[in-house]
Each structure stands twice: as C-alpha cells, then as structure tokens.
Amino acid sequence: MGRAPALLSFLLHILFLLGRVRCSAVAALGRRLPPSTDGVCARLIRPLGYPCSEHAVETEDGYILSVQHIPYGRRALAKKSGPPIFLQHGLFQGGDTWFMNSAEESLGFILADSGFDVWVGNVRGTHWSYGHVTLSENDKAFWDWSWQELAQYDLLAMIGYVYSATNSKIFYVGHSQGTIMALAAFTMPNVVQMIESAALLCPISYLDHISSRFVLRAVGLHLDQLLLTIGIHQLNFRSNMGIQILDSVCDGHMDCNNLLAAITGENCCFNGSRVNYYLEYEPHPSSTKNLNHLFQMIRTGTFAKYDYGWLRNLIHYSHLHAPAFDLSKIPDSLPIWMGYGGTDALADGADVRRTINELRSKPELLYIDKYGHIDFILSVKAKDDVYGELIRFFRSQGWPSSY
C-alpha cells in the first residue's frame, strides 16, 4: 500500500527536480571530463616518462574500444617487452583507474616497472572508447548491453587483439566488474585458451550478501526498472539527471557526504585528498541495462545471463529462464589468484567463498580485513599490501621461455 506512493514520488522527483543538488559529494561529480581526443596515454602515462600507444579494437557487434599499451617501464635499459598482462577496470571506471595515484602507487606503472608488457582495456560506453561503427551514443540501441556483452564481445575482442599482437598467452588482472566479465568469459573456451593465469581483485559472481546501503536502497526502489520505463538508457552520473538520481536515492535516507563509502563500504587507505583529481576522470558512463542485470543478480541470487522475461528468454536462449554461467566450466588448469577485503560492501566474503567453492581448482587467496572495495586499486599502501603478492603469483607461474 505504501510502496506505490513512494515510487511515484521518487519517479516525479527524478523527472522534475531541477533544484540544486544538496549533497556536496554528489555535486562534485558534475565536473566535466577532460577531452578524450588525446587519450589515456597523453593524459596520464606519457607525462610520467612511460612509453604508451593508443589502439582501437572493434568488437563483433560493432563497438570501437580503446586499448592502451605500455611496453616497458620508464627505467628499462633494454627497452624490451616482458610477458603481456591485461588490466580490466570495474563499473563506472575506465582504463585511467590503474594510473590515478603516483607511479610508485599505481598498479599499471608498477607492473610496467616490474618487467611486464602492460595492456589496458576500456569497455564500450566509457569516455576513452570510440563509439560504434553505425550507432550514435544518442541511439537507444547503443546502450542495449550489460556485462554479459562486455564478457562475450568486449573482453574477447581486446584479449584476442593482445594475443595476436604478442603471440603469447596473457596474464589477466580484473577489478570488480572486470572480475564478473572474466569469470563469465573464462567459461568460454575461445577466451580462456588465451589466458595464462588470472588475478581477480574484489571478485564478484554472486551478490547475495551485498551490504552497500546505497545499492540496497536503489534495488528496493526498483531504480533500474524505473529508469528503463521512462526511457533512460545511458547511466551517466556526470549529467544533471545522473546527479539528481544520486541525490534522490540519498536524500533523507543516508548520509551521502561520503558517497563512496555509502556505495562501496569503508575504505581504509584511500587518499581522500585526491578525490577532486579522481573526479576529473571518473565516473564513466554505463548502461541502465547493465545496472538492471546487476540488480537481477541481487534479487535472484544467481550468476546468470540477462533475464528478458519468459517470452524473450525463449527467443534469446531457447529457455524460459536465463541460463546460469557454470563456474565449473573454467578449466582447473587455469591458475587463479583472488584478493578481497573485510569491509567490502559489494564483494562480500560469503559470496567470494561461494564462487571459490564452485570452481574446479582452488585459487590462491589474499584476504585483508581492513580493506574495502576501492582500496585494492587506490590504496596508498596497496603496493606493499597487495601488488607484491599479485606479482609474486604471476612470476610463480613461470614466464614464457621467450622472455
């Protein structure tokens, strides 16, 4: 009885609220992204003395993705590339996320200086990627995708490009959504055959135990379905509408002055003084359908393909229900390392353990009780706490003899 008026009020608030956003942390997201014509290399990597080139990769369904290549570190004497390693960012992030701290603190720089041949992915819809061969970003069809397509098309295209360029199997690092993509893609033989080993930061396949106050409120409001119903298919938190959506979820229900903590949980070692710098680049857009798919996972407790409803499921999958991704199809010959934290409100430990139990082989694990979701990529202590263990894992697999 009380839910319908609440939803109506919320919907009207989204559509008609044109007032000033009161939450200062949300308002800061309105800053415009720097022009992307010169790319991640020119903005973040070459200025610090690292070699970097930009690459365009086309997916099977016509999206043009941006990939950056850092072949060696800035102090490399031989100027020779080591084994290839591919970095895949999370939701509302781009390839810039691996280079947001200093060269001594950012994983992308640390890997290059450690002898790896670093490749960085950017999925469709991010500011760094290049659009579509026929569709405009203003077209509804441009945003008709979820993480399922990111795994099936984007990851396949980018990994295939690096595999062809290097003629070598690839070390993989993913964070958050980059782990959802990986776990789904690794069930597909055409992807996993190109992977040497994988490190998953804040791994997600199930979301049963998510504790994020912001996300759970958005799920309860059916925010994803409301946005699709009123025709909002691009989810851009830099737009006026995006800022008002954030404010509407927060207003009167939670303190969003620390919006990051409200979404991800507390982060112990995130450098708060750099927030304004981070906001020059992030958040990146995603699709409302992608949010809808993630919320489906929360509501149903499954790691499955996008649920279109019975009739459209029959058309897409020849089944009434969306098929689940079978983690037991990931070969036990694929070495996996996972890092997760005790204060992560998105990748909860119980869900991580469920993922581990469904794998055929047992991954190496790093658990840090005080770490949250963002600490694994932006902690000022991550080099000592996380990245040393991650690099040790990859080196323990044995570098290809050609290196």
Say how far apart CA 237 and CA 252 lie, in whole Å: 20
Let me know if 373 is a catalytic residue: yes
Of 168, 176, 205, 248, the active-site residue reads 176
Going by C-alpha positions, the residue among 178, 184, 205 that lies closest to residue 329 is 184
Farthest-apart Cα atoms in the chain, separation = 71
Quickly tell me which residue has 């290549």 as its tokens: 69
Residues 6+ apart with CB under 8 A from 36: 127, 128
**53-58, strands of its sheet edge to edge:** 53-58, 64-70, 117-122, 84-88, 170-175, 195-201, 336-341, 364-368
Please report how the helices 240-250 and 3-16 are oriented relative to each other, as an axis angle in degrees rounded to 10: 150
- Catalytic: 176? yes
Catalytic residue among 373, 375, 379, 385: 373
Cα 192 to Cα 67, 156, 158, 310: the distances in Å are 19, 9, 13, 30
CA distances (Å), origin 160, targets 108, 241, 281: 20, 37, 27
* Residues annotated as catalytic (active site), given as ranges: 176, 344, 373
